Structure 1
Amino acid sequence: MKKSSRAFKALWAGEIVSEFGGAAGAIINGLVLYEITGSKEWMGVLWLVYFIPSLILQMVSSPFLNHVEKGKMLKNIQLIRSISYTLPLLGYWAFSNTGAITGLVLLQCILGLLQPIYASLAFSLLPDICKEDELAAANGLLDGTLRLMAFIAPGVTTLLLVVMPMQCIYVISAMMYFISFLSLSRIQVKLNQRIPAWTKKFWWAEMKLGYKIFFQKPKLVRLTFLSSSVQFAVGASMVLSVPFIRGDLKGETWEYAIFSGCFSVGYALGTLLLRKLPRNNQVMYLGLVGGGVSFIMLFFVHLTSFAWLCELFGGTLFPLYNANSAAIFQKEAPRERLSQLSAVRLLFFRSTTPLGILFASSQFIHFSSREIYLIVGTLIAAPGLFYFFSAFGEKENNLLDVQNSVNKTEGTS
């Protein structure tokens, strides 16, 4: 971290505070809406308002992202988010419950629209502000920090609720995003290319070309679909975790709280482990296999303490795959197309999570929670094992070999 560039430190600091603000805000969104309506249907509407516009924009926005100034766009998004978090509070003060619900819906819609743009640009910005041999560590540090903040934020929010009305948390979330805006303002990355005149024909041609280039890169497609299988399992786990701990294992509320936090703690540990291990394909796919096995192990456990260990184990190993596969994507995607291709990559991730939710919650699929854990874990571990053993036969096993060989060739030409 000490050797990282100033721009990366600014991005990292901005991500930390915004993740805390977003996690705290998400908790309050649910609490405020349920207190007003007492309806789980309204909770579903709130998430649909977030997901549907987000996925639609994700599908069609990729051509725009190649032709924006990334640092400037990222900080502007954080400023808009900061302002948006005041909408429920303003609605509550002005129009009471109806205004609060309207503010919540507007907030969720804005967050859903901005999230895919922000995530794609932040992902594609890393190669511009980090050295290539630092990308895996940088991805791991960002991902691990965000997971840790997602674990810390609920506890801190609970303490804040003891001393202030829950609507006031929106002010804290707005402040966190404004601090993120200030931090990201320190990033200076210029776009060294001419921006073509914007026309409908240009947009359509660019979008088709982006998807075409993506599917012409077999390694990028393979890594994206392997990561999507993980997101499918995450979606299923969102449905299963409470009934599994509270129902199957007869656990208490506090035992579920520990279960939900073990993965984030493990992920932070995995980020540290990532720095100690060689960056090769075997280690990368071993992380994928281990993560899948952690789901499979839940099929066999009968004590909550063992379930905690499964989550801790999975959280520790998944960063080995996630950070290294992200680094490969950032290196091998054409630099001038990275923002666009990262948007395509993120589209698959965000699409498979709702599919996992539907799979685990469908009334037409008669599997127990344990059986679903076994199925989704096998979907991750089986291809991971195949590619793990295949990696032993690859000539270029080290993740940096491809780039190093290119540099050597250029140096001798």
Structure 2
Amino acid sequence: MKLNKSFRSIWLSSATSELGGAFFTFCNSILIYKYTGSATALGLVWLIYYIPSFFMQLFIGPYIDRWSRKYTMIWCQLVRAILAMVLAITLFSEWFSVSLIYMVQVLVGLIMPIFTPANQSILPTIVEKEHLEKANASLESVRQVMAVMGPISAGVLVEYIEVNWLLIIISIAFLLSTYNLAQINERHIKREVRKPWIEEFKEGLNSYFEHPLIVWLGVFFGFVQFGVGVTIVTTLPYITTVLEQPTVAYGFFMAGFPVGYTIGALLSSKLKRLNGIGVLFSALFIGGCTYLSLAFTPWYSLALVTEAIAGIVIAVFNIYNITLIQKRIPNQLMGKVTSVRLLIMRLMLPLGILFATISVQFIAIRSLYLIIGAIICVTSLTGYTFLKNREEIK
């Protein structure tokens, strides 16, 4: 695939944005756990992120198709850069408090439902349809490479520099992402006739539900996100307490999934076509089995391998899912339909966080992984059985 200038720009923007985002997530988790020592507090900070994120996702879809996606993304990145800088300044000046992390999480939770659908919707305006699958695989690869580098680099850096300096680096990364976004040549068609919000929202829902495979894959994607929500709360105490590893090991474990995801994205780019739905639901089933493995493994090294395998199979599922939407949905409806898909994620993921935040107080972390693994395995088998004979998805 020959890359045009705009695709190179969004590729570079994704690289710096994902690196900054991975650093930001790491810093916020470390700060909360350092100042509170509580897995419940760690869950609360992510609930505070995802609850406003859910309501923004519900509201914003129709507007993504009205606005220039390029400038929407630029403004979002600028706000993220400012937030990281403000947090760094409070740490330098000793004005920092845990409540400030909660405030930052609320604001970022309002920003990302705007940024993410704009980011996914802009690709068909700069890449030809026949190149979308390879373009998605390339973008997912660089995002996951940066997601690998983020936790590992952050885990090493916090051993040598203060978190406030790491936040300065994060702010610079978001500014570099903004610069690259400014280089994109977007084919944006300004719409002169604008419908009321509720009509456009219904239009997006109708377009989404016209495609049964996309609908059902969205449902099963939601169950995966529920499991992700649980791990947001449990991963740090799982590594440092259950497996009795140092903080730097948490960074390497967090990198395991993106390493696998990168491999999975590269494999997907080499596949000309995924034949049938068996591959997709096999990927989901294997993903569920990785939770079961984490529930029983006594070895940190096996946990790392397990996390990498989870990344590989979920990459296959996600890339095919996103490409299906981009190929089947008209571009003028892309923002609305993408928002519906993300709405499922932003509903199920905080439910997973809430479930873990409450249950971690009286259910062992290994038992939680056993429950989540069983749910995903059963869901994937049910989905395959239900959909395999439907003519419209062959």
Which of the five TM-score ranges fits, normalised by the shorter chain?
Answer: 0.7 to 0.9
Q: Which segment is superposed worse, 327-336 or 125-134?
A: 125-134
Conserved 8 A contact 1:288-1:320: no
1:120-151 CA distance string (max 9 Å, x none)? 11111122222333323332332333233222
Distance 1:139 1:377, change over 3 A: farther
Matched, 1:273 2:273: no
- 2:197 corresponds in structure 1 to 203
Distance 1:394 1:131, change over 3 A: farther
Q: 1:128 aligns with which of 120, 125, 128?
A: 125
Task: Please tell me the residue identity of whatever aligns with 1:267.
Answer: Y
Conserved 8 A contact 2:155-2:252: no
- 1:229 corresponds in structure 2 to 223
Structure with greater contact order relative to length (CA < 8 Å, sep ≥ 6): 2
- 2:292 corresponds in structure 1 to 296
Task: Please tell me the residue identity of whatever aligns with 1:182.
Answer: Y
Note the C-alpha offset of 1:327: 0.6
- 1:401 corresponds in structure 2 to none
- 1:252 corresponds in structure 2 to 245
1:356-382 CA distance string (max 9 Å, x none)? 123334349975544433332233333
Aligned sequence identity (%)? 28
Task: Please tell me the residue identity of whatever aligns with 2:372.
Answer: V
What residue ranges of structure 1 are gaps of 5+ in the alignment?
Answer: 399-413
Looking at structure 2, the residues matched to 255 and 28 of structure 1 have their Cα atoms a distance apart, in angstroms, of 15
- Corresponding residue SS for 2:186: coil
1:30-85 CA distance string (max 9 Å, x none)? 455666x5575775664444333222211111121110111122122222322332
Note the C-alpha offset of 1:293: 2.4
- 1:411 corresponds in structure 2 to none
- 1:3 corresponds in structure 2 to 2
Calculate the aligned-residue CA RMSD, in Å.
Answer: 3.2
1:162-191 CA distance string (max 9 Å, x none)? 554432222221211111111111112233
Q: Which segment is superposed worse, 220-229 or 129-138?
A: 129-138
Distance 1:261 1:116, change over 3 A: same
Q: 1:381 aligns with which of 377, 380, 390?
A: 377
1:318-349 CA distance string (max 9 Å, x none)? 21111001111122223211101111211110
Matched, 1:342 2:345: no
Aligned length: 390
Conserved 8 A contact 2:226-2:351: yes
Aligned positions of 1:9-408 closer than 5 A: 9-32=8-31, 38=36, 40=38, 46-91=45-90, 96-98=93-95, 104-161=101-158, 164-196=161-193, 202-245=196-239, 250-253=243-246, 257-277=251-271, 278-281=273-276, 282-363=278-359, 368-388=364-384
Looking at structure 1, the residues matched to 361 and 154 of structure 2 have their Cα atoms a distance apart, in angstroms, of 37
Task: Please tell me the residue identity of whatever aligns with 2:317.
Answer: Y
Looking at structure 2, the residues matched to 195 and 167 of structure 1 have their Cα atoms a distance apart, in angstroms, of 46
Distance 1:158 1:103, change over 3 A: same
Distance 1:117 1:298, change over 3 A: same
- 1:408 corresponds in structure 2 to none
Looking at structure 1, the residues matched to 3 and 321 of structure 2 have their Cα atoms a distance apart, in angstroms, of 20
Q: TM-score by structure 1 length?
A: 0.82
What residue ranges of structure 2 are gaps of 5+ in the alignment?
Answer: none
- Corresponding residue SS for 1:328: helix
Distance 1:337 1:361, change over 3 A: same
Note the C-alpha offset of 1:279: 2.5
- Corresponding residue SS for 1:280: coil
Distance 1:140 1:197, change over 3 A: closer
Conserved 8 A contact 1:50-1:112: yes
Task: Please tell me the residue identity of whatever aligns with 1:294.
Answer: T
Looking at structure 2, the residues matched to 304 and 136 of structure 1 have their Cα atoms a distance apart, in angstroms, of 35
Conserved 8 A contact 2:152-2:255: no
- Corresponding residue SS for 1:275: helix
Q: Which segment is superposed worse, 154-163 or 168-177?
A: 154-163
- Corresponding residue SS for 1:61: helix
Distance 1:266 1:109, change over 3 A: same
Looking at structure 1, the residues matched to 258 and 232 of structure 2 have their Cα atoms a distance apart, in angstroms, of 14
Task: Please tell me the residue identity of whatever aligns with 1:279.
Answer: L
Conserved 8 A contact 1:140-1:322: no
Note the C-alpha offset of 1:306: 3.0
Distance 1:321 1:54, change over 3 A: same
